[in-house]
A and B are shown apart, each in its own frame.
Chain A
Amino acid sequence: MTLMLRNLGRDSLQRFWRMGHMFLFLLVSIFGIVRPPYRLRNLFKQIVFIGIRSLFVIVLTAAFTGMVLALQGYYVLSRFGSEGMVGPMVALAIVQELGPVLTALMVTGRAGSAMAGELGVMRIKEQIDALESMGINPLKYLVAPRVEASLVSLPVLTAIFNVVGILGGYLVAVQLLGMSSGTYWGGIEAKLAAKDITISVIKSVSFGLIVAWVCTYMGYFTTRGAEGVGRSITQAVVLSSVLVLIWDYFITSIML
């Protein structure tokens, strides 16, 4: 019994220590963003990697999400004679929820895992130590540009997701199912408020922070060789996805 309690206490302390460590890592990284020198080339490279290279997968996901929402929505709402509400339903679901969440999950899978893997390999191949030995702060050089690029890219990618998703819904509802174009766009115009877009932006910025923070942290503190890199990538993707979903619930419950 005593041993069990001791182990429980030790595990709890370790978890608290880790949470504090992660939080300090975030603070130092953010500090690295605001303090000179500013390495714009590094930032641009990360924006290309996280933002531009994720564009294709985001457009594809958004289009099919909007299309399936319109398809499902049309058949469900038509049972109640409310098929005219397909447009607002697709738009609100995408702008408030699916846009930010699915964008964050797709970026986690595509760019977050790569961030964790790249930093993990740099750690085990002593490249991070090499930066330190040259008097270069690796948190500022490696982590800060990734966090910054993620903060910039996620809202833009989410906006693109929202637009493409609504267009995908239009394609199915209007072009395929024969709904009137005026009803689709009119419903969206009447029901989609500025507040919904604000929620979408706030969510996407906070998700951007979570994805970059968790994935860089896991990669940066990789240990134990190639197996450790694999473990870091898995932990990064799982933890960042779970945190995105948990944070989504809290932020939605506050803002709605």
Chain B
Amino acid sequence: MSGPTHIPDSVALPRLLGEVLVGSGRLTGDQIAAALAEQTRQTEPDLIGEILVRQGALTPAELMTALATRFGEERAHYATQPPPATAIRFEGVEKSLDGRKVLDRVDLEIPEGKITAIIGVSGGGKSVSLKHMIGLMAPDRGRVIVGDRELGRLSRKELLRVRERFSMLFQGSALFDSMNVFDNVAFPLREKTRLDPATIARLVRKTLGQVGLSGANDKFPDELSGGMMKRVALARALVTQPEIILLDEPTAGLDPIIENAIHHLICDTYLRTRYTMVIISHAIPHIFNWCHHVLVLHEGKILASGPAVVVMQSPDPVIQQFIHGSLTGPIKIV
């Protein structure tokens, strides 16, 4: 499986997409200039990559690869920078389910405007922590703070308003069975905005196009493959243009090619939107290539937290066993 490649050691600042494409010899400066000129003429400007694909200068796959390279440089740059502002913070969060402590005095910070991956063994509290972030679960002890709002102190109405800043992609996609793809994606817009039907239809078609599902409007969830369901769920999460996107195992149960495509898609989305993203993933070690920041959650505690390139090199035997999938080590299988 390919991750972002060609990361120059000396990169001080990540290059722009055009620079990556010209640097790789795939396009000339004139082609980039022509695309930029078209962009300036548009009233609702498309992204350079989209224009290049439409002009036939790039294939969608080439664009995704270039974006991944661009992201790889950004990821390397992130490790050298001071930590950004915090979007979500846990302070001493404890949670027990069925008498078992799932989160044990967890302190964590999710950096704003970055992709954070939460990794750890199954049953380690990853999904539970994601549900705490959006207020679907309340901690037994401790505080969950989104921006400057502590979720535990909010009324239900205020909590619903905070949730409007979020979108969440659930592990099983959670598409509504009784609705087709178009209606599933349009649902949050119809329910939470006052947009007219024509605008909603335009936004839904555009978002479905971005996830590569332009022709699937009329299909129902039971007619979709696992990868398509994930992409529809991603489109539903993106269509409301949230500030924070939570992705619970977006690649679980998918084949390696679809997994790679979903990772490219998330990266592509991030570079276009700069949303704060939190991904729970078991796609180890590939996920390290697709995020800025990594949190390792083990037995209800944060074992490591930091830039992906730093955590990947951690000498901690638990982290190394988890990264290499080794059967021997501190994590006991049975």
Contact = CB atoms under 8 A, between A and B. Distances in A.
Contacts of A121: 177
A133 B172 contact: no
B161 A133 contact: no
A39 B134 CA distance: 25
Contacts of A135: 160-161, 163-164, 192
A126 B172 contact: yes
Is the interface on chain A under 10, 10 to 19, 20 to 34, or 35 or more residues?
Answer: 10 to 19
Interface of B (DSSP majority class): mixed
B174 A132 contact: no
Query: Which residue, A127, A129, A135, has most C-beta atoms of chain B within 10 A?
Result: A135
Contacts of A129: 131, 136, 168, 170, 174
B188 interface: yes
Contacts of B246: 133
A136 interface: yes
Contacts of B174: 125-127, 129-130
Interface in A94-143: 121, 125-127, 129-130, 132-137, 141
A133 B171 contact: no
A225 B166 CA distance: 27
Given A126-B174, A127-B176, A133 B168 contact: yes
Given A121-B177, A137-B160, A132 B172 contact: no
Nearest to B165: A135
A225 to B, nearest CB: 12
Interface residues of B, number: 24
Contact of A133 (B163, B177, B191): B163
B220 to A, nearest CB: 14
B136 A136 contact: no
Contacts of A137: 156, 160
B136 A133 contact: yes
Interface in B191-246: 191-192, 240, 246
Interface of B: 131, 134, 136, 156, 160-161, 163-164, 166-168, 170-172, 174-177, 187-188, 191-192, 240, 246
10 contacts: A121-B177, A127-B175, A129-B131, A129-B170, A130-B168, A130-B176, A134-B192, A135-B161, A137-B160, A141-B191
8 tightest Cβ-Cβ pairs between the two chains A and B: A130-B174, A126-B174, A135-B163, A133-B168, A135-B164, A135-B160, A126-B170, A134-B188
